[in-house]
Copies of this chain bind each other. A is one copy, B any other.
Amino acid sequence: MDNLYALIMAGGGGTRLWPLSRQKRPKQMLALVEDRTMFQISVERLSPLLPPERILIVTGSDQVADLQRDTPHIPPENFIVEPFGQNTGPAVGLATVHIQQRDPNAVIAVLTADQHIADKAKFRRVLETAGELALKDYIVTLGISPSFPATGYGYIRRGNLMERINNFQTYHAAGFTEKPDLETAMQFLAAGLYSWNSGMFIYKVGRVLTEYQRQQPEMYALLQSIQAAVGTDTYPEVLDQMWRQMPRLSIDYAIMENAQNMAVIPVDIGWSDIGSWATLFDVLDGDHDGNVIRGQANTHINLDTRNTLIFSDRPVATIGLEDLVIVDTEDVLLVCDRKRSQEVRAVLDTLKQNGREDLL
């Protein structure tokens, strides 16, 4: 498919992997799983499906230089820069009108920069499959087969079975649900009809812009003005003016949850959003004691320590520990019960209250 484009959303902040991730060093810039950054991996795993020319990145002005340095083979003009963060609805719209200018027949796969995908080959196959389905005027979502009743993800319910393409079953999407409570999530799992919303969508540019026009006419009008200025001298000024007026809405809320002709392809590709130290621990292979040791020093003097995650650039000695997370950075140290690693949010709140923005 030579009109398939990838659009990687790499604007996020996010401090759920604090203190390694910071406001100025978000998750996609970290080497968490492999020895390259999450962003580098998210670009590389598209090869050989897509050439660099058809990989675009939408990001903020404060991150673009770092991301370009990480992926020198991507043409600089493929980095589409938001003046400042306005949530994913405007970001996807901005990138979509840019791509439409280049190729009115483009099919775009909206992808994330900070998620782990274990089965990269299958991921490329399902992207291609979703692209074929998108050509038939569907907006296609990749639905992740849920492995536990997560309350941190949105869910997609599948409706009627559609055709089988390349060994993937495709379905009408029958509805989106935002993050449910635990009881609802357990019902979803029992029903067997629900997938996690991975935040990955595949669509024809014209098809999704019709949805912007129908559901978000204000945003659509602003995007039209921006599109008219693409390639002209007034572009920066127009972008800045329009951007400030953008409603701050997520792509899910603004478009996907109420779009017509939604399809879903449920897949098991070893997906994880690595939303906490605990989920990173689950993704990484441990040593024979179940410990995961990462960082430049990589020296762990282990006395009777098990199932513990250590990120440190210095040698670390541990005695008699179990199920801990130890994250040792230049200016702050975190030691945490592995089962409670999502509570770093509360640490950040405390630091904010104490005026320690330098550590956020």
Contacts and interface: CB of A to CB of B under 8 A. Distances in A.
Interface stretch (A53-61, A219-227, A256-264, A309-317): A309-317
B312 A335 contact: no
A190 interface: no
Contacts of A316: 332-335
A346 interface: yes
A320 interface: yes
A331 B315 CA distance: 7
Contact of A326 (B304, B314, B331, B333): B333
A180 to B, nearest CB: 26
B356 A315 contact: yes
A326 B333 CA distance: 10
A170 interface: no
Interface residues of A, number: 35
Interface stretch (A5-13, A23-31, A229-237, A336-344): A336-344
A343 B320 CA distance: 9
B315 A359 contact: yes
Interface in A319-360: 319-321, 324, 326, 328, 331-337, 339-341, 343-344, 346-347, 350-351, 356, 359
Contacts of A318: 334-336
A19 interface: yes
Given A303-B343, A347-B303, A319 B332 contact: no
**Protomer copies:** 2
Contacts of A182: none
Nearest to A18: B317
B317 A347 contact: yes
Nearest to A336: B319
A319 B344 contact: yes
Given A347-B301, A350-B301, A315 B332 contact: yes
Contacts of A19: 317
Contacts of A321: 324, 335-337
Given A301-B350, A350-B301, A351-B301, A343 B331 contact: no
B312 A333 contact: yes
A337 B321 CA distance: 6
Contacts of A303: 340, 343, 346-347
Given A301-B350, A303-B347, A317-B333, 6 more contacts: A304-B340, A314-B331, A314-B332, A319-B340, A321-B337, A335-B335
9 contacts: A301-B351, A303-B343, A315-B331, A315-B333, A315-B359, A316-B332, A317-B334, A319-B334, A319-B340
Interface of A: 19, 299, 301, 303-304, 312, 314-321, 324, 326, 328, 331-337, 339-341, 343-344, 346-347, 350-351, 356, 359
Q: Would you list the 9 A-B pairs with minimal beta carbon distance, nearest first?
A: A320-B337, A319-B336, A320-B340, A317-B347, A316-B333, A315-B332, A317-B334, A318-B335, A319-B343
